[in-house]
Amino acid sequence: MESGHVFLSYSTVDKGSADALLKGLESKGVRVWMAPRDVRPGSDYSEAIQDAIETSSAVVAVVSDSANLSRHVKAEIEIAFSRGKPLFPVRFHEVEPAKGLALFLGLRHWTDLFGGNQNSNLDRLATELRAGDSASAPTASSVPPQAIPRARMINKGNGYLVAMICVSLGVIVLVGVLTLRRSARPSELPSTTATAAQQDQYGLQPSRPRSALSAETTVQSSARRDFDPTVVVTQFYNALSQGDGATAAGFVVPEKRVSGPLSANALSEFYGSLASPLQVLDVSLLPDGRVRARYQYRHPGGRVCDGVSFARVTVSAQGIPLIAGIEAPGGC
């Protein structure tokens, strides 16, 4: 992955604001990496997100009420913080960062894109990002010692002792795991679940597929899977809101991409011809495992369609969540 870009972190609820920020920065010569736009369909999201952060020159975070509740935004900020990346928080309304974010963003130079100085504030942010000037956006080294994780405060003189302790603990854990696997029945073995850092607002799936999942395993409950099925549906409809049928079809199972209503040509032809583009209103997971999406668009003839659809999400043999089918009972 080419380095030198700026990584944009945001909650999917704030995609409208994030899109506006993306457009503003890129119009001023800042190269921005933003998911799902810059993630290849079908690729491993967890690896793509982490690579994008690690090769970035800085991270811009949209701070909002939704971001405060997003474990995925926090995970991205934690990665950026641990890599010493300059952090630039941006607000579109008056809001304070939650405790989980305040630890990393409390001392940063904030950019407010509301009120009377939006243009000048955006200009200043773009100038700092282009110049790679981190002076106004202190890195992890400028955070007070009590805010730095204890592991980072161990001096070099204790390095050998720490290494020996880590090796000893590793051996103990390994012996315990082997003992557990020998004594436990298959149904009692601990399941593999993704951590918060492996899941993101864009649906970060684990970098390794779960062997128990087949290519056509329908999601029954998000609590029993390593990904959020609403994310792939959100990505699908976000692509349709741009009239981009090719990208949208990338989130569909391969056998339905070639022909039919979910093919790239059919999606581009319909959603690219709307009088008013599709707007996603809500995406939520139902108890039966289906994903419900509410949206609105205007037909070329002027008729407004308030649509509701129900999608089934499956997992490929590579562990990638894909849309297996969509039903729209209302005809929209």
Structural domains in the chain plus CATH codes: 6-147 (3.40.50.10140), 217-327 (3.10.450.50)
pTM: 0.45
Please, which contacts does 192-196 make with residues 24 or more away whose CB atoms are closer than 8 Å? Answer: 192/226, 193/226, 194/226, 194/227, 196/71, 196/72, 196/74, 196/75
pLDDT of res. 317: 82
pLDDT of res. 294: 92
Collapsing DSSP to helix, strand or coil, 295 comes out as strand
pLDDT of res. 151: 32
Under 8 Å between Cβ of 228 and 198 = no
DSSP annotation of 239: H
User: How many Cα atoms within 13 Å fall on the side-chain side of residue 62?
Assistant: 27
pLDDT of res. 190: 36
C-alpha span between 72 and 70 (Å, rounded): 5
Under 8 Å between Cβ of 11 and 62 = yes
Looking at residue 164, its amino acid is: M
Under 8 Å between Cβ of 275 and 298 = yes
pLDDT of res. 176: 56
Query: From the first residue on, what is the mean pLDDT of each consecutive set of 10 residues in the chain (332 residues)?
Result: 83 89 95 90 82 94 90 90 93 88 78 90 94 49 35 40 55 52 39 37 37 34 54 89 88 89 90 90 90 91 90 87 90 78
